[in-house]
Amino acid sequence: MRRSEINAILKDAQAFFDKFSIKLPPFAHLAPHELAAIAGSDVIANNLGWDVTDYGLGTFDEMGLFLFTARNGKPENLAAGKGITYAEKIMISRQDQISPMHRHYFKTEDIINRGGAKLVLELYGPDADGFVDREASFTVPMDGVERTFTPGTRVSLEPGESITLVPGIWHAFWGEGGDVLIGEVSTVNDDNKDNWFAEPIARFAEVEEDVAAWRLLVSDYPNLSKFAASAAE
């Protein structure tokens, strides 16, 4: 993705948040060189901040997602049973924009329609080897009520409704009838190791630096020194 395209997506997301009176934490508003100055913070270590992906396919409008990670802990906190063992994301799924079929190894997540249009999820359970099971029914909680579905069921969430996805449940989702503001509350999130896609695609986008970054993505954090140097030039 071109950096100019990413900048535009981030500014559109900010405007969408404003529509719903969503206020972001202070680190959301830091310029690239200001983030580089706090390289040793938990903001960087825990990958808090802006995220845009086209899954490496170059077709963001058709297959992509905007995300903002507001809080997150470290995976080792789960094993230790202490510290920050949870995460929170705010996402935007555009109309008919697919977040492709995937599952998580460790993360349990509540996916919540926070406003806008309908959020549609296509669901499958895992087979004995963890792959998509196209034969067996499976059970997931929806707002505190257990629901049993057949493979490939499409669940439509209205604003305020949610679904709980435990590790192994395969899911794809998209906005229907408009853009959707999505909340995600989960156990610790590790996007580098905890995503298993049904097709061989990438979690993060490749970025072409055609203009300066307005805000950094979490995938930029391994190269923070480059953005500190750019500010000095």
Q: Look at residue 230 in the predicted model and tell me its pLDDT.
A: 60
Could you report the per-residue pLDDT of 68-84, keeping only the tens digit for each? 999 999 999 998 999 99
Q: Residue 140 is part of a domain; what is its CATH number?
A: 2.60.120.10
SS (H, E, C) 93-111: ECECCEEEEEECCCCCEEE
Averaged pLDDT, 7-21: 98
The structure's pTM equals 0.95
pLDDT bracket for residue 46 (50, 70, 90): very high
Report the domain count for the chain: 1
Q: Look at residue 228 in the predicted model and tell me its pLDDT.
A: 79
Q: Look at residue 225 in the predicted model and tell me its pLDDT.
A: 87
Q: Look at residue 158 in the predicted model and tell me its pLDDT.
A: 98
Mean pLDDT (the chain, rounded): 96
Dihedral over alpha carbons 54, 58, 61, 63 (to 10 degrees):
-50
Domain that holds residue 10: 3-232
The radius of gyration computed from the CA coordinates of the chain, to the nearest angstrom, equals 18
Q: How far apart are CA 199 and CA 53, in angstroms?
A: 15
pLDDT bracket for residue 232 (50, 70, 90): very low
Do residues 209 and 59 touch, judged by C-beta distance below 8 A?
Answer: no
- 213 or 226, which is more confident: 213
Residue 181 has pLDDT above 90, yes or no: yes
Could you report the per-residue pLDDT of 209-223, keeping only the tens digit for each? 999 999 999 999 999
Q: Residue 197: beta bridge partners? A: 102
